Amino acid sequence: MLNFYGVEIASRLLLGTAQYPSPAILADAARASGTEILTVSLRRESGRLREGQDFWGLIADLGVRVLPNTAGCHSVKEAVTTAQMAREVFGTSWIKLEVIGEADTLQPDVFGLVEAARILTSEGFEVFPYTTEDLVVAERLLDAGCKLLMPWGAPIGTGMGLNNVYGLRSLRAHFPDVPLVIDAGIGRPSHAAAAMELGYDAVLLNTAVAKAGDPVAMAGAFARAIEAGRAGFLADPIEPRDMAAPSTPVFGRASLA
Ligand SMILES: CC(=O)[C@@H](O)[C@H](O)COP(=O)(O)O
């Protein structure tokens, strides 16, 4: 079972809550996904109070954990302040930390991320950092007190899947005991399955479900793909090879005589 900061989690799919056609579809998609963790942006909740209250009721009905995020923050100060407010609003010390550094790719500002992570862990937060696959940054985030890492698959909202499989494989190999969650850029269930086959512990996604033609069906498809990918990883897949190898034994030949 997954363990995030001492909390055991059965579902390996974490779901975002933005961009659904309606709150009812979000709720149905969350149920179909089997997720136990929904990410929620503080900005959304504080911005439109009435809608926020309805939204909070919906989350409470689903009986899932909330992982507040600092989506849209571009500086350390903004991210830290948003995290502090989120702790008050949502009553949890979990925070998905995003410090965005570049507008076109929404690439994390990894320098600001490490600084913000250090500040927040010293204040008792349990930080889920949205990062790249960079090994040195990963080491710095762990030094800063993060107990798990959330590298991107591809830029948020692109649906491109796993852009740097080599880097992600290498991150997995360097940190075998750290929970690793692919966060962002997943477009199709096969991308999520591929992440799990690499040995990743879980996948966080939003756009691919929220913007699908049928978000509820897509949520179910992702849940099954993640389970299949995990099962495949645990079953110890064969290594690819360059030369063909007959899968049918060649001893004993058919004879026409
Ligand atoms: C919801 C959330 O936390 C996003 O910031 C996250 O990174 C998801 O990205 P996708 O929308 O690309 O799945």
Name which residue sits closest to atom 6 of ligand 1, judged by CA: 184
- Average confidence (pLDDT) over 119-127: 98
| Mean pLDDT, the chain, integer | 93
Confidence at 48, pLDDT banded by 50, 70, 90 = very low
Residue 163 marked as a ligand binder: no
Contact 76, 99 (CB under 8 A): yes
Segment 154-194, tens digit of pLDDT: 999 999 999 999 999 999 999 999 999 999 999 999 999 99
ipTM of the complex: 0.95
End-to-end CA distance of the chain: 60
Amino acid letter at 11?
S
Cα–ligand 1 centroid distance for 49 (angstroms): 23
| Residue whose CA lies nearest to ligand 1 atom number 10 | 184
Q: Which of 144, 109, 115, 145 is nearest to 130 (CA)?
A: 109
pLDDT of residue 52: 59
What's the pLDDT at 255?
Answer: 66
- Give the C-alpha separation, 167 to 231, whole Å: 22
Higher pLDDT, 115 or 253: 115
**Distance, CA 237 to ligand 1 centroid (Å)?**
29
The C-alpha atoms of residue 153 and residue 151 are separated, in whole angstroms, by 7
Q: Which atom of ligand 1 is nearest to the CA of 16?
A: 1
Residue 24 has pLDDT above 90, yes or no: yes
Distance from residue 96's CA to the centre of ligand 1 (Å): 11
The DSSP symbol for 120 reads: H
**CA pair distance 99, 131, nearest whole angstrom:** 9
pLDDT (average), residues 203-220: 98
Q: Is 158 annotated as a binding residue?
A: no
Known binding residue 206? Answer is yes
With bands split at pLDDT 50, 70 and 90, how would you rate the model's confidence at 47?
Answer: very low
pLDDT number for residue 60:
86
Q: What is the biggest distance separating any 2 CA atoms in the chain, rounded to whole angstroms?
A: 86
The residue-averaged pLDDT of 107-128 equals 98
Chain CA centroid to CA 65, Å: 15
